[in-house]
Amino acid sequence: MTRATCSLCGQQAETDVAPLTWLTSVEDGRSLLYCDRCTRENVRSIEGKLDSVHW
Ligand SMILES: [Zn+2]
């Protein structure tokens, strides 16, 4: 089983399904997951569709 893992901080969810508070973003055909904390901290960057890793 592959647990849902945050693409930014590497935090793993309790299950293989991301919690509702997590954000799923598809970029360049890849499905990325952000935990609730990273979502809050990076929501503007994520919504801005910035490809840069320099947050
Ligand atoms: Zn995270």
Going from N- to C-terminal start, the domains of the chain cover 1-47
pLDDT of 53 > 60? The answer is: no
- pLDDT the model gives residue 9: 95
**Bridge partners, 33 (sequence order):** 24
Is residue 34 within 8 A of residue 6, CB to CB? The reply is yes
Stretch 11-40: mean pLDDT: 89
Please report, rounded to a whole number, the percentage of residues in the chain having pLDDT higher than 70. Answer: 80
Amino acid at 29: G
10: left (phi over 0), alpha (psi -120 to 50) or beta: left
Q: What pLDDT digit, counting tens, does each position of 17-26 carry?
A: 889 999 888 8
**Distance between Cα 51 and ligand 1 center (Å):** 17
**Distance between Cα 33 and ligand 1 center (Å):** 8
**Distance between Cα 6 and ligand 1 center (Å):** 5
Stretch 26-52: mean pLDDT: 80
The alpha carbon dihedral of 27, 30, 35, 37 has a sign of negative
pLDDT of 34 > 80? The answer is: yes
